[in-house]
Amino acid sequence: MTILGYPILDLFLYFIFYSFLGWLMETCYCSICERRLVPRGFLYGPICPIYGTGVLLMILFFTPLKRNLVLFYVVAVVVMSSWEYFVAWLLETTTHVKYWDYSHFRFNLKGRICLWVALVWGVLSYIVIFYIHPPIEARFAEIPLVLKYALGGVLLVTLTVDAVFTIRHLALVSKLVVGVTAIGGELQVQLSLGKAELTDMLEDKSSALRQRYSAEIAQLERYSRRFRSRYSKMSVNRRYTVRHEDILAAAQLAKEELLRKKQEKRARRNAN
């Protein structure tokens, strides 16, 4: 079975190989910048699937454009930037964490992609298709078919197991991030209400919330330690952060509601 003339087995092996090269490149770059070993990638194994999938897109869709370099470059910039944006959106939506952020660069789109990185994608696509992939493809063609099937099977099983454990880990981190945010917001609202002469009534609730918040933070610390070591600059999606203005507004509304109910109760008591 083939896809656009390429055997699926070969495409899978390309995917693993270039995912590893991407992981190696990113790990070396981040380790040099931070002056310590920073193993990148959200999977446990030494691969970054975004690079493997990106190179597959180059091989399948950019190769036919080799004779028109202008069109090749434009398509490469658009397709690879769209792929990077989609991956960033998917990770933020499913884990509530930003794994990279280009907000500090000019001409960025929600911090997920930016102009200079998009232009670099075009250059990298040219280098991969014209200089890197041809010799790699020739070497892969020399591998016996039986060895390809054996290697592909082992790598597929390993990747599947890795993905299952990683998805479980990400689900736990995502759940904890949402829980911590919700509890943190509730705790701050309760504390704000306490200033409205409701300290006695809310003392027990605030204490219980503090305990829940501390427990959630401790659990999140355990589950996210590995991810923070790899993505030291990642941040929580703004959708799951609590602004000070929102807390004050919620506290004011809750205060007015409680005072209104108190006045109604007093009025009914006087009426009786």
Indicate whether 120 pLDDT > 70: yes
What does the DSSP assignment read for 179-214? HHHHHHHHHHHHHHHIIIIIHHHHHHHHHHHHHHHH
- Give the model's pLDDT for residue 240: 46
What number is the average pLDDT over the span 99-117?
A: 90
Cα–Cα distance list, 53 to 5, 13, 245 (Å): 17, 11, 42
Residue 201 CA from chain centroid, whole number:
41
Paired sense of beta strands 235-236 and 97-98, if any: antiparallel
149-189 pLDDT tens trace: 999 999 999 999 988 887 777 666 666 655 556 555 555 65
- Give the model's pLDDT for residue 233: 53
Average pLDDT, the chain: 78
With beta carbons less than 8 A apart as the criterion, state whether 237 and 97 touch.
yes
- Give the model's pLDDT for residue 147: 94
CA angle 121, 226, 81 (to 5 degrees): 15
Indicate whether 73 pLDDT > 90: yes
Contacts of 181 (CB under 8 A, 6+ apart): 236, 240, 241, 242
With beta carbons less than 8 A apart as the criterion, state whether 1 and 7 touch.
yes
- Give the model's pLDDT for residue 226: 54
Indicate whether 266 pLDDT > 80: no
239-264 pLDDT tens trace: 544 455 555 555 566 666 667 777 77
Lowest mean pLDDT among 71-80, 104-113, 200-209: 200-209
Distance CA 224, CA 222 (A): 6
Please indicate whether residue 2 or residue 157 has the higher confidence score (pLDDT): 157
- Give the model's pLDDT for residue 242: 47
Q: Is residue 119 classed exposed, middle or buried when 0-12, 13-18 and 19+ CB atoms within 10 A define those classes?
A: middle
Contacts of 158 (CB under 8 A, 6+ apart): 45
Indicate whether 75 pLDDT > 70: yes
Residues found in the chain? 272
Please indicate whether residue 37 or residue 150 has the higher confidence score (pLDDT): 150
Distance CA 72, CA 57 (A): 12
Contacts of 2 (CB under 8 A, 6+ apart): 8
Which of 120-129, 196-205, 217-226 tops mean pLDDT? 120-129
